[in-house]
Amino acid sequence: MPPSLGGIELDKEYAVVMKGITKRFPGVLANDHVDLFVEKGEIHAIVGENGAGKTTLMNQLYGLLHPDEGEIYVFGKKVHFKGPREAIEHGIGMVHQHFMLVDNLTVAENVVLGSETKKGFLFDLNEARKVVKDLSEKYGLLVDVDAKIEDIPVGMQQRVEIIKTLYRGAEILILDEPTAVLTPQEAEELFEILRRLKKSGKTIIFISHKLNEVMEISDNVTVMRLGKVTGRLKTSETNPKEIARLMVGRDVVLRVEKENKEPGDVVFEVKDLWVKDNRGLDAVKGVSLKVRRGEIVGIAGVAGNGQTELVEAITGLRKVEKGKIIFDGIDVTGFSPRELRDMGMAHIPEDRLKYGLIVEYPAYYNLILGRHHRFPFSESNFLNKRFILKNAEDLFEEFDIRPRKPEMLGGNFSGGNQQKIVVARELSHEPKFMVISQPTRGLDVGAIEFIHKTILRMRARNVGILLISMELEEIFSLSDRILVIYEGEIMGETRPEETTFEKVGLMMAGHRLEEVER
C-alpha cells in the first residue's frame, strides 16, 4: 500500500489535482465536493450519465466556470483561472463536443486563429501551414492543411481541434464526449491518435458514457453520479458491469436477453425502392426488404448511406421515385404520414428535436402528436383536455418520465426523458409496425437499457420492427436479421448469431456478403 493522503498517492506525479470542488447553479448542486486525480501521462476517463456533472467539472478546470469551493492544482501548482486563456497558458487544452471552427477558413487558418503566425505586421500563411504540417506529422494527425473546414469530414475536423490545442502548447488535453459524432472507424482512428499522444508524454482526460470505449482506451476511471464521485478505479482491475453500477446506482443489464420467438406473417414490405436526397441525387437505390410480425430487422450502416432517406420514404415524409411499399397487405406507396399512422405505423425518428418533439409544447401535447385529431383527444374539432392530461399522467408513470411534470415544455426535459416522451407516444399508438431510428443516440446507460427492453417488449407483442442504428452493438443485441446498407444499396443479409462485428464492418465499408464470406 503506497503512502496516501486523501486519495493522493505521494509517489505519483499528478498533472491535475482537483480537491473538494463544489459548484452550485440555481436549484442544482452540479458538483458536490468532487476530487479528481489525474496522473501525468495517463489517459483518464471521466464517466457518468448525462447531468452527472462531468462537463461542469471540466469547464472549471478549463477556466470557463469558477468553483464555489475547492482547489485546483496543475502540475503541482495551485491555480485560479479567470478564463480559458490562463488555462491555456498552463498547458490545458479542451476539445468541446461541438467544434469551435470557422467553416469557411482553411485548416491551417483555423489552427492559428487567435495567435497567428506573423511576418512583421502581416499574417504569415506559409509559416502557419508549415507549423500545422509539422504538428500533424509529429503526432500522426492526418489533415489536409489547405482544405476548408466545411469540406472535410467530422473526424478530420476533430483532428483539427486537437492540433489547435497542441499548437497552443497543451500538455493536458480534455476531450468532451469525443466519439459522440464519430463513426466506429473514425473512433478507432481517434484512439490510435490518443495512444500516440500519450506515448509522447501528454496527459489526456476523456469524458464519455460509452463503457466499451472507456475500457479500451483509459488507464484510470473516475465515475460520477449526481454531482458526486462514486468510484475511482484502475481500468485493468475493473469491468463494464462495475462501472455501470457506479454510474447508475444499481445493477444494469448491458446486453438485454432476447427470447426465442418464431415470427409471424409479413406485415411490411419494400420492393425495389428508389428515393432521392435533398440535392436530387439517388440516395436509396433499389432496396427491397421484408419485416414479419414479432420480428426485429436491423439495418446497419455508417451515417449518410441512405438510411435517413429510406426511413423518410417509408414513413411518408419523402417522395418515392420508384418501387412499392406494402403495409398490412395494402400498397401504401405515396400515402401521407397521417394515413400511415392511422393504419398503425409508428415512427421513432433519428432526430428527436427536429422531428420527434415540439419543444415549445408542453409534454402532454407532445404525447398526443399524431393522434391529436382522433377520439378521445379530439371531439368535433375541440381538444379534450381531460383525456389529454390523463393520457400524459398514465404515460409519465408507465415510462418513468422525469420530472413528473406533464405541463413542462418538451424542450426543458433532459435528452433521455425527451426520448422517453417520443417512445411513450409512439408505443401508445398500439402500432402494428414500427420504424425505429437511432433510438439510443446520446442516451446514457440506464436509459439505453430501458429503451432496449421496451423495444423487445414490442417484439413480444408481435409488432414488426425495422431498426436503423449506427451502433453495431445495438443492432447485434436486438435484431433477428441484419441488413447492411452502403451507398443506398443492401450489401447483404445475415443473422447476429451467424456473423461477426468484423464481417458486418466490412459490409458497412462497401463489400458484399459474398466477398466477405469468402
Residues near another protein (CB under 8 A) are 25, 28, 30, 51, 315, 317, 336-338, 341-342, 347, 349, 354-361, 365, 369-370, 372-373, 378, 381-383
Evaluate whether 488 touches 304 at the Cβ level (below 8 Å).
no
The SS3 of residue 214 is helix
Cβ proximity to another protein: between 4 and 412 the closer is: 412
Cβ proximity to another protein: between 195 and 402 the closer is: 402
What's the 3-state SS for 280-311? CCEEEEEEEEEEECCCEEEEECCCCCCHHHHH
- Cell 414490442 belongs to which residue? 458
Q: What DSSP assignment string belongs to 446-500?
A: HHHHHHHHHHHHHHHTT-EEEEEES-HHHHHHH-SEEEEEETTEEEEEE-GGG--
Q: How many angstroms separate the first and last alpha carbons of the chain?
A: 54
Cβ proximity to another protein: between 341 and 452 the closer is: 341
Q: Kindly give the residue spans of alpha helices, DSSP state H, lying in 51-183.
A: 54-61, 84-89, 107-112, 125-138, 154-167
| Distances from the Cα of 382 to the Cα of 30, 122, 480, angstroms | 43, 68, 43
Cβ proximity to another protein: between 87 and 311 the closer is: 311
Q: How far is the CB of 382 from another protein (least distance, A)?
A: 6
Q: How far is the CB of 413 from another protein (least distance, A)?
A: 11
Angle at 245 between CA 353 and CA 477, to 5 degrees: 60
Cβ proximity to another protein: between 269 and 342 the closer is: 342
- C-alpha closest to that of 274 among 315, 324, 308, 316: 324
Cβ proximity to another protein: between 365 and 450 the closer is: 365
Q: What's the CA gap between 277 and 313, in Å, rounded?
A: 10
| Partners of 39 in beta bridges | 14
Cβ proximity to another protein: between 214 and 435 the closer is: 435
Q: How far is the CB of 373 from another protein (least distance, A)?
A: 5
Cβ proximity to another protein: between 197 and 345 the closer is: 345
Extract the C-alpha cell encoding 484.
447492411
Q: How far is the CB of 483 from another protein (least distance, A)?
A: 24
Cβ proximity to another protein: between 73 and 355 the closer is: 355
Q: What's the CA gap between 238 and 246, in Å, rounded?
A: 11
DSSP label of 265: S
**Does residue 184 have a cis bond before it (omega within 30 degrees)?**
no
121 Cβ contact partners less than 8 Å away, ≥ 6 residues apart: none
Q: How far is the CB of 110 from another protein (least distance, A)?
A: 23
Cβ proximity to another protein: between 63 and 91 the closer is: 63
Q: How far is the CB of 316 from another protein (least distance, A)?
A: 9
Cβ proximity to another protein: between 12 and 338 the closer is: 338
Q: How far is the CB of 369 from another protein (least distance, A)?
A: 4
Evaluate whether 229 touches 19 at the Cβ level (below 8 Å).
no
Q: How far is the CB of 180 from another protein (least distance, A)?
A: 17
Q: How far is the CB of 341 from another protein (least distance, A)?
A: 5
Q: How far is the CB of 325 from another protein (least distance, A)?
A: 17
CA 514 to chain centre: 32
Give the count of beta carbons closer than 10 Å to the beta carbon of residue 495. 11
Q: How far is the CB of 263 from another protein (least distance, A)?
A: 28
441 Cβ contact partners less than 8 Å away, ≥ 6 residues apart: 350, 470
Q: How far is the CB of 388 from another protein (least distance, A)?
A: 10
Give the count of beta carbons closer than 10 Å to the beta carbon of residue 166. 22
Cβ proximity to another protein: between 51 and 505 the closer is: 51
Extract the C-alpha cell encoding 415.
435528452
